[in-house]
């Protein structure tokens, strides 16, 4: 997807492109961060287009069946995260969800706690993550808490409004 600007075109980090970057070896949070900037600010008027393209062009079932190595399993986790992200963000911001994101194959068989953060191994931390994780992630066995989709743009706007009200 490209966006026309007055001087030139720029490439847009769709969710599908973010996942393709992850599959190509990019650090997952770096690729997803670029997508989040698009979603929350740069392309917020085109949100449906940002998630329209399925993240797995070769079909979700084929990647699921191919999971035999830790690397493939990690890629599958990020595929499931992307489906959960599409569902959560679309529901939260009133955008029609793409049908690919509703495919039940996008579910992990084992819980993935806080993206393998070593601090997520204690029973207390896991209980907290289980309670605070948004439902689209929790249903898919991704337990990362309630800050996964923190929107710094909305936070900054709220801070500006509070400051102006004083």
Q: What are the tens digits of pLDDT across the range 90-110? A: 999 999 999 999 988 899 988
Find, among 78, 79, 150, 149, the residue nearest to 115 by Cα.
78
Rounded-to-integer distance, Cα 128 and Cα 114, Å: 11
Task: Return the pLDDT at 66.
Answer: 56
pLDDT of residue 156: 67
Of residues 86, 80, 109, the one with CA closest to residue 99: 86
Please give the pLDDT value at position 61.
Answer: 54
For residue 68, the model assigns a pLDDT of 57
- Quick one: DSSP state of residue 40? I
Give the pTM: 0.84
How many whole angstroms separate alpha carbon 31 and alpha carbon 55?
Answer: 13
β-strand pairing of 142-143 with 2-4: unpaired
Q: Which residue stretches of the chain have pLDDT < 70?
A: 1-8, 57-71, 155-156
Cα distance between residue 142 and residue 81, in whole Å: 7
pLDDT of residue 4: 47
């Amino acid at each position: 997807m490209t966006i026309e600007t007055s001087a030139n075109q720029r490439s847009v980090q769709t969710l599908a492109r973010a996942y393709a970057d992850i599959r190509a070896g990019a650090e997952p949070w770096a690729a997803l961060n670029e997508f989040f900037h698009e979603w929350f600010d740069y392309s917020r008027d085109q949100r449906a287009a940002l998630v329209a393209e399925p993240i797995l062009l070769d079909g979700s079932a084929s990647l699921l069946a191919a999971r035999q190595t830790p690397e493939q399993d990690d890629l599958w986790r990020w595929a499931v995260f992307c489906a959960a992200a599409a569902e959560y963000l679309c529901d939260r911001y009133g955008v029609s969800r793409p049908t690919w994101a509703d495919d039940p194959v996008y579910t992990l068989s084992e819980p993935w706690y806080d993206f393998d953060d070593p601090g997520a191994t204690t029973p207390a931390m896991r209980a907290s993550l289980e309670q605070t994780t948004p439902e689209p992630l929790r249903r898919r066995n991704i337990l990362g808490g309630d800050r996964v989709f923190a929107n710094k743009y909305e936070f900054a706007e709220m801070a500006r409004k509070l400051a102006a009200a004083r």
